[in-house]
Amino acid sequence: MSDTRVADTLYRFITQLRHSGLRVDVARAGALQDALALIPARGLHAVFLAGRTTLCASQEEIARFDACFAQFFFSGERIEVEILPDPMATPLLQASTDLRRRDRAETDDDRDVEMGAASAQEILRRRKISKLSPDEQKLIERLIGQLRADVAVYPGRRRMTAKLGLVDVRRTVKAAQAKGGDVARLYRRIRRKRIRKRVLLLDISGSMAPFAPGLMRFGYAAYRCAPRRTEVFTIGTRLTRLTRCFDTADAEAANQNASYAVPDWSGGTRLGDQLKAFLDIWGQRGMARGAIVVIASDGWERGGAELLAEQMQRLRRLSHRVIWANPHKSTPGFEPLTRGMQAALPAVDDFVPGSTVHELDALIRLMGNA
């Protein structure tokens, strides 16, 4: 392989490492190239050992490097024995207990083995928050609490002085008059940026009970991104405002306050009634006007679907964008066949999943770009 192709391969590999979350700065990349220049045989074995030595600074980074190395050079399969220093060496991936060359006729089930080198957090980020042990649930809640994203902004009516923008004729003329008519400077101004309001309506009914704790943490994470421009409600058989419960820097205290405030955990689902209550009490006052509204629900509706459809259209006219997060959307073969989803979808701008930390992270970023 020519030096140009080797350099191109290394560049693409380093790019994939960065996309996987490994912090490969210019100094580390240069150290890798210097190390490879000192090794006579530049095989994959040399790239692997040099990369581990120069690019990784902790056990977690080593695990992530191993997983990315296997994905890039072996399409996600276990690393072949030839990459190891000797046949008795420790496998590079913790899931690779068999150091023999993999039989190409192996069953599909064997190919679905998860790579143990991926950190526990990375695995849990893609696991449904409804199917976790108590310890994993606590870790998931902490991961959700760490979600951060930019908030959506829009140009307001008021203007401010800036280096670029439209000429502020009034201020420019006034300054010129003070200097005898000599225009010494063109003052400019732009519109101030305002944070767009966000409203979260979280379904905590019986069908959503497995997802409710994670959604509550998600609501707190979204609130902490923009505390003065975010409102959080729960919907079930009653409408409960949780914004004041989340007005604390202590995530555990916020979660406990919210659990005391909600009287209808794991109850029935009357989405149309609760959405109407929200719009009558809060929405018409301006809370939903021009806001990004996120509804996290599976769409099960025990009330009238016609009422839900009517209120969703009403919400759509008031809000800037309506996002519906259904935790079952990412399930293979899922179709929105429930009466509630069928009634709501015509008024929904974005229909997204919301059952894992990875999906909730994508959701909160969508809110920031809306």
Residue 136 lies in a domain: no
Q: Are residues 279 and 349 both part of a single domain?
A: yes
Write the pLDDT tens digit of every residue in 283-295. Answer: 877 899 999 999 9
Q: Are residues 14 and 86 both part of a single domain?
A: yes
Q: Are residues 223 and 186 both part of a single domain?
A: no
User: What predicted TM-score, i.e. pTM, was given to this entire model?
Assistant: 0.63
Structural tokens at position 340:
């509630």
Residue 108 lies in a domain: yes
Q: Are residues 272 and 173 both part of a single domain?
A: no
Average pLDDT of the residues in 71-97: 47
Q: Are residues 49 and 183 both part of a single domain?
A: no
Q: Which among 144, 268, 136, 274 is positioned nearest to 208, based on CA atoms?
A: 268
Domain that holds residue 283: 198-369
CA gap 197, 158 in Å, rounded: 17
Does the pLDDT value for residue 244 go beyond 60?
A: yes
Of the chain, the percentage scoring pLDDT greater than 90 comes to 25
Q: Are residues 83 and 177 both part of a single domain?
A: no
Q: Which among 238, 286, 236, 240 is positioned nearest to 259, based on CA atoms?
A: 240
Residue 143 lies in a domain: no
Q: Are residues 188 and 41 both part of a single domain?
A: no
pLDDT score recorded for residue 91: 36
Count of domains observed in the chain: 3
Q: Are residues 111 and 209 both part of a single domain?
A: no
Q: Residues for the chain: how many in total?
A: 370
Write the pLDDT tens digit of every residue in 42-60. Answer: 567 778 888 888 888 787 7
**The residue to which tokens 């599976």 are assigned:** 298
Three-state secondary-structure class, residue 14: helix
pLDDT score recorded for residue 75: 67
Q: Which among 310, 300, 303 is positioned nearest to 276, based on CA atoms?
A: 310
Q: Are residues 299 and 323 both part of a single domain?
A: yes
Residue 152 lies in a domain: no
Paired residues of 159 in beta bridges: 191
Angle at 239 between CA 251 and CA 139, to 5 degrees: 25
pLDDT score recorded for residue 40: 64
Q: Which among 74, 120, 121, 113 is positioned nearest to 96, based on CA atoms?
A: 113
Q: Are 265 and 215 in contact (CB under 8 A)?
A: no
Q: Are residues 236 and 110 both part of a single domain?
A: no
Q: Could you tell me which residues come within 8 angstroms of residue 36 by beta carbon, excluding any fewer than 6 positions away? A: 10, 42, 46, 47, 50
